[in-house]
Structure 1
Amino acid sequence: MTLVDFLLGLSFLPTVIRQRLLEIKKSQESQESANPTRESATSDESVQSPNSVDEGYIPSPGGPDSTLNTNSNSSVNGIMPEMERLGNDLPVTVLPVGEVAQSWQTLAQQYNFFQLEVHLKEGVDLAIRDRSGTSDPYVKFRIAGKTAYKSTIIYKNLNPKWDEKFTLPIDDINKPLDIFVLDRDRGFASDDPMGSVRIDLMSLEPECLNEKKLELKEASSVEFLGHILVDFIISPVKRPEDKESIRANTLSKRRKSENPSGSRKVKSQLWNGIVTITLLEGKNLIPMDDNGLSDPYVKFKLGSEKYKSKTEKGTLNPKWMEQFDVRLFEDQTNTLEISVWDKDVGSRDDIMGRSQIDISALNREETHHCDLELEDGAGTLSLLLTITGTSGTESISDLANFKHDPNTDRMLYKKYGILNSLKDLKDVGWLQVKVIKAQGLASADLGGKSDPFCVLELVNSRLQTQTLYKTLNPEWGKVFTFNAKDIHSILEVTVYDEDKHGSPEFLGKVEIPLLRVKNGERKYYALKDKKMRRRAKGAILLEMDFVFNSIKAAVRTVNPREEKYLEQDAKFKVSVLQYNLSRVTRLIGVILDTTKFINSCFQWESKARSTIAFASYLIIVWNFELYMVPVSILLLFGWKYVEVCITEKFTKAVEEDDYVESEDEEEAEKEEKKKRKEGATKSSFKEKLHTIEKVCQTIQNTLDDVACLGERVKNTFNYTVPWLSYLACIALLIIAIILYLIPLRLLLLAWGINKFTKKLRKPHAIPNNELMDFLSRIPSDNQLKHYQELRPENLRPDSPKKKR
């Protein structure tokens, strides 16, 4: 009697299982009559199961680690060959283990990255997990403990047909691929495991189609769980520029052409680009809660990459201000799926609206502002999208493809010439940045190397280079262009180390005001730390060109600055509060000294000084005209200009040691880290402390605003930014002429009419103060320290071949 006959004799078995056993018995009898020798062959194959990795076993999620019992005397293993006979036999291409190992040994020496193309076809005779006698199966693919892909859910089907194709990046070929089949359960119940299997990637034949029929197994279970049909193609990732040399040359020649210096080879990134998503805000979302509000959050999906925003509670007009970086692969979908959800506690989250963007229709290396209408009038979403970080010589941002064209230069100078000053006032200028290379970067990895990439930010526009692996001297060779809306913007260049399992690690940064750009100058910039106070390791080589229209720039200067969406508020620190207090104290000291000087004239402490002051007062008041006010300020500018010209030659440039952060600030940082480690103890006391910190932060920021205002007025007269000081002189001269020629009564009438009718003429105009907008472009003393350039250290000279 076979095991199937024994089970059929049990009267308490459910009808579904009994029918399944009858099918197994009929199939067994028909195959035995057709091929009597099949049973012995099958038993031999079952003994060989330890070597067939695709038929292996891994524990289900959350289950304890265990191994498959391969005892042939076990009744459980006795039925497995019978179950394997079901379904269609697949033509599987199997290479002898020796040849596969030899192929992998050769490939592992040549390549660092691989890609695994997966075709998930279908499942056959999957396990029943629902009361209805069916299941809702889906498949998860995991590598190194992380979910790399999740299939769609096929509802109420034991023979699901997925027919899904996708590609997984493989950076460690020794890590196995774990495949889990799960049954989707609604509500609070967790999804039920339906079986799993582990694939040793090095058991697959490289660069060939591997068709697999994978039997599902589960820890401590004798249940037949069915199998899934999956195709695999694993192949090394070749850089585009090496394809022709691979076909034409031998292996030794190719290695020489890739790495002529004999140094260790550099990995190339697996993805084709980065989609940077800056989620700004939502407007007029639909209410989902009883109070007429919602708790919205947003989900993004591009291929297998998924991201979720934070939840904004109790609002229909949320402001998220979050940024996500999504990797873009060549063979994945180009549709970015966006969905807005309402967060519910104790029940399933409700969907509020959907939308999607075809990113293939967007220009690369350019930031796009998108206002998306959600389906069925569910509101709008505002976000910024940038496709950047592209790799390969076919990329438009690759410096190898860049050719200087004199016609382009002529068109640019014509576009931003004086004759086009009234066309498109928002298009102020054009900036081109060539990110050539960096030297001497800090090592962030255990091997003493880094995986650096460079990010360029101009207010809300954000572009980045590709990642170069295992190097401290990367040569990116990229060229980027920005549309400059304000010539007083700051170009932020930051170098990061890519981390596979977390956020990038900071390596260094430099801030460059656009007005300091010297066209065509190739220059090394020394990197600084996060606070822009101390020197960081390394320097970056940049070449920039900046063209702008002066009249458009002047008009933009007296209008509000463009808001940087992701700018973080300064956190409260005792050292920062003390520093801001000292800045305000210095400002008040100047005002008090001026007041004392005027009072000394009234007190006749010096008879000569008081006599001159008294005579000057009488002459000025007797002959005073309104136009003399701007003329007096002009005279002050002239006096300061002469002073700057004389003292500039004797002024020492600010060095790094002159503005290193204080020890108090370092101590404050250590205290803050200790507070974070203390965790959830004394929560009520922490809430009170947080309230006090908020008040102190407000005081700190107010002192900073007051100090910055005083420093900006001082720096205006000191010609810290000559362009702005010259603009102020021209404006004062024009104001003086107008006041001299036009009566004050008419000027007041014109001013009043403009103010009263501005809201009628421009309903959406932002109320502003032109003087404060002008002063906001003048850097404070603290900002000047950020922009201060340090001398690069320990630079290796360029070889003659690389010099241009």
Structure 2
Amino acid sequence: MFTIREAVLLSCLIRNLRLSESLRKNQLWNGIISITLLEGKNVSGGSMTEMFVQLKLGDQRYKSKTLCKSANPQWREQFDFHYFSDRMGILDIEVWEKDSKKHEERLGTCKVDIAALPVKQANCLELPLESCLGTILMLVTLTPCTGVSVSDLCVCPLADPSERKQIAQRYCLQNSLKDMKDIGLLQVKVLKAVDLLAADFSGKSDPFCLLELGNDRLQTHTVYKNLNPEWNKVFTFPIKDIHDVLEVTVFDEDGDKPPDFLGKVAIPLLSIRDGQTNCYVLKNKDLEQAFKGVIYLEMDLIYNPVKASIRTFTPREKRFVEDNRKLSKKILSRDVDRVKKITMAIWNTTQLLKSCFQWESTLKSSIAFMVFLVTVWNFELYMIPLALLLLFIYNFISPVKGKVSSIQDSQESTYIDEEEDEEDKREKIIYSISTREDCCPGRKSSYSLIESEKKGLIERIYMVQDIVSTVQNILEEIASFGERIKNTFNWTVPFLSFLACLILVIATITLYFIPLRYIILIWGINKFTKKLRNPYTIDNNELLDFLSRVPSDVQKVQYAELKPCSNQSPLRKKRSIP
């Protein structure tokens, strides 16, 4: 006979198993819907100057790039949705227009029943818009998906030698030109977490793990009333880009409320150590500082290097639409410093050249003058990629030390409280302005006299925020671009640097043996006939696509693995009391 306590524990165990099985079934997708948004035809209506398209499938949502309004807009973008065969597969397409003041208005809509389309076939659809004139042209392909699973440790897919051998054969070099989108397979064992933050008043938490790889999301079950949970679950993900980053976030389940954050780690796929159980220190939401607790993971990665290399020169997968990032004083200040560093490097180089021309140092100017004469006299075009290749070799032999200064980390951390204070003040100002009338109903008539001024002030506040946010994004793009070029030459990601060296070797040999006019002729013919050969092709810039895979200095900090220490202090610094 069971005691009352044993019976309660058994009941809780059975309930957790049922919930875990239900959760497993609800989150596994069995197909990928690839949508290529091509163009609009004869789209008319509305009076605003710009337009974009929103695509929705359940809770998955994408937003296209914004174009200047025209009757035949050309988007040419690709989006991938997860398809669940046991749910309604109705794709909602909405065409929106907006103006420079961020006012948006829906122009027209259309729907697609995904379940009615044939599988493994590119379906070219021309969809008439409701509520306005015009049509939307797109390609829709439904492809069955394999490789995604959730299981217990006892049925680990790669633990079976025969199954592991079969998967390895699937991604061997002999199959490099088969199914180019299927690059590899990632297996993640989520074992346990230790010493998590207590999120409940009882001094406990109800933790669960969310794993994200690009747009793919899977999660564990919840372990209730525990700061040292053991999940012992195995997740497998199909790899679509070897340069993706696995994000593992621990949350505290809070009933109907949004879950509380308990910590996070980001692990680039190329940094995974196969088959080793690793202890990762949890970080804060920005992945810049240590939080409380550690998590134990074991990962295995099998992929085809040829497919991964080819995928590097194609556009990255677009992310689902999420909330816009708030204006941040910390991020803005950090981006200004990053752009300043790049500007100073360019300025110092310019000053060095100027000093050579001014003969400030006789020895330096003499050497520079001789190098200039010899280089110009013997210059051939193939020497440009050869010089870049030599720079890679030099950095490989004597790598640049000091990946990201710890001073930068300390500077970033000092802004946390200031940023929160500023955001709180800003929200309070807007809130007080917008609710003053409700707080004093007796004086409603007097406040109605300044209604227009109040609305104007709110609009000006938001307009300034939009402008500063735009400046912040531009600064971040400039800084990231410069840092990615530097990190490519610094061998920050050996896979990418080796790939760049391989391309430079090919370019050097090509330019040495083939006249430049033939190379330009081949390039021009390819560009001019690309759309004739494939009317639905998507244009891209291979160099920018390559650089988008190289981490910036900020991302290097976020991806850096922290060493566990006994005196972790995850909490924010206490605000000083005035």
Q: Same fold (TM over 0.5)?
A: yes
Distance 1:386-1:701 versus aligned 2 partners, 3 A rule: farther
Q: Which has the higher helix share?
A: 2
Aligned to 1:667: 421
C-alpha displacement at 1:467, in angstroms?
Answer: 1.7
Please name the residue that 1:139 is paired with. Answer: none
- Cα deviation code 1:657-696 (max 9, x no counterpart): 5752525433333334434643625332111221122121
Instruction: Give, as a single letter, the amino acid of the residue that structure 2 aligns with 1:525.
Output: Y
1:488 CA displacement = 0.6
One-letter amino acid of the counterpart of residue 469, structure 1:
Y
Confirm or deny: 8 A CA contact 1:398 1:478 kept in the other structure. yes
> Percent same amino acid among aligned pairs?
41
Q: SS where residue 509 of structure 2 aligns?
A: helix
Given that residues 715 and 779 in structure 1 are in contact (C-alpha distance below 8 angstroms), is that contact kept between their aligned partners in structure 2?
yes
1:316-465 paired onto structure 2 within 5 Å: 336=88, 397-402=151-156, 404-465=159-220
Q: What corresponds to 1:731 in structure 2?
A: 503
1:525 is the counterpart of 2:297: no
Counterpart for residue 786 of structure 1? 558
**Distance apart, 1:570 and its partner CA:** 3.3
Q: Could you tell me whether the CA contact under 8 Å between 2:125 and 2:140 is conserved in 1?
A: no
**Structure ranking higher on relative contact order (CA contacts 8 Å, 6+ apart):** 2
Aligned match of 2:380: 625
Which of 607, 610, 630 lines up with 2:365 in the alignment? 610
- The Cα shift of 1:652 comes to 9.1
Look up the match of 2:526: 754
Contact 2:279 2:295 in 1 (8 A): yes
Say if 1:299 and 1:470 are closer, same or farther in 2 by CA, change over 3 A.
Answer: farther
| Contact 1:490–1:513 (Cα < 8 Å) also in 2 | yes
2:238 to 452, 465, 483: 483
Structure 2 Cα separation of the partners of residues 373 and 745 of structure 1:
41
Letter in 2 for 1:670: D
Which one of 684, 694, 704 corresponds to residue 456 of structure 2?
A: 684
Asked whether the equivalents of residues 249 and 265 of structure 2 are also in contact (C-alpha less than 8 Å), the reply is yes
Q: Which residue does 2:485 correspond to in 1? A: 713
Matches within 5 A, 1:63-78: none
Q: Runs of 5+ in structure 2 lacking a partner?
A: 76-80, 95-108, 131-135, 436-453, 568-578
Mapped contact 2:185–2:238 kept (Cα < 8 A): yes
Q: Distance in 2 between matches of 1:308 and 1:713?
A: 34
* Partners of 1:659 and 1:785 within 8 A in 2: no
Aligned-pair distance for 1:777?
0.9
SS at structure 2 position matched to 1:493: strand
Q: For residues 480 and 63 of structure 2, what CA distance do their matches in structure 1 show?
A: 35
Shift of 1:411: 1.9
In structure 1, give the amino acid aligned to 2:235. F
Paired AA for residue 250 in structure 1 = F
In the other structure, the counterpart of 1:590 is: 345
Normalised by the size of structure 1, how large is the TM-score?
0.54
CA distance in 2, matches of 1:441, 1:415: 39
What SS does the corresponding residue of 2:422 show, helix, strand or coil?
A: helix
- Helix, strand or coil for the counterpart of 1:552? helix
Can you give the 5+ residue segments of structure 1 that lack an aligned partner in the other structure? 1-248, 302-306, 343-350, 363-367, 796-804
CA distance in 2, matches of 1:678, 1:276: 46
Conserved 8 A contact 2:279-2:296 = yes
Kindly tell me the number of residue pairs found equivalent between the two proteins: 506
* Map of 1:640 onto structure 2: 395
2:359 and 2:124 mapped to 1: Cα distance? Answer: 71
**Conserved in 1, the CA contact under 8 Å of 2:430 and 2:458?**
no
Distance 1:674 1:383, change over 3 A: farther
Give the corresponding residue for 1:744: 516
CA change 1:282–1:448 in 2 (3 A) is: farther
Pairwise CA RMSD of aligned residues? 5.0
Q: Which of these residues, 573, 576, 584, is aligned with residue 331 of structure 2?
A: 576
Q: Give the Å deviation of 1:598.
A: 0.6
Q: Distance in 2 between matches of 1:472 and 1:443?
A: 7
Distance 1:655 1:398, change over 3 A: farther
Instruction: Check whether the contact 1:335–1:356 (CA below 8 A) recurs between aligned residues.
Output: no
* Alignment partner, residue 248 of structure 2: 493
Deviations 1:201-229 (A, max 9, x none): xxxxxxxxxxxxxxxxxxxxxxxxxxxxx
How far did 1:642 drift?
A: 2.2
Instruction: Give how far 1:717 is off.
Output: 1.3
One-letter identity of the residue aligned with 1:438: A
Distance 2:289 2:494 in 1: 27
Q: What is the CA–CA distance in structure 2 between the aligned matches of 1:718 and 1:693, rounded to whole Å?
A: 36
Secondary structure at 2:301 match in 1: strand
* 1:627 Cα offset (Å): 1.1
Q: CA deviation digits over 1:239-296, x for unaligned, max 9?
A: xxxxxxxxxx63469559859xxxx9897275712458999999999xxx99799xx9
- Equivalent position amino acid for 2:192 in 1: K
* Residues 466-475 or 772-781, more deviating: 466-475
1:555 to 296, 306, 310: 310
Q: Which structure has the larger Rg over C-alpha atoms?
A: 1
CA contact 2:91–2:113 (8 Å) conserved in 1: yes
d(CA) in 2 for partners of 1:759 and 1:730?
29
Q: 1:477 to 1:448 in 2, by over 3 A?
A: same
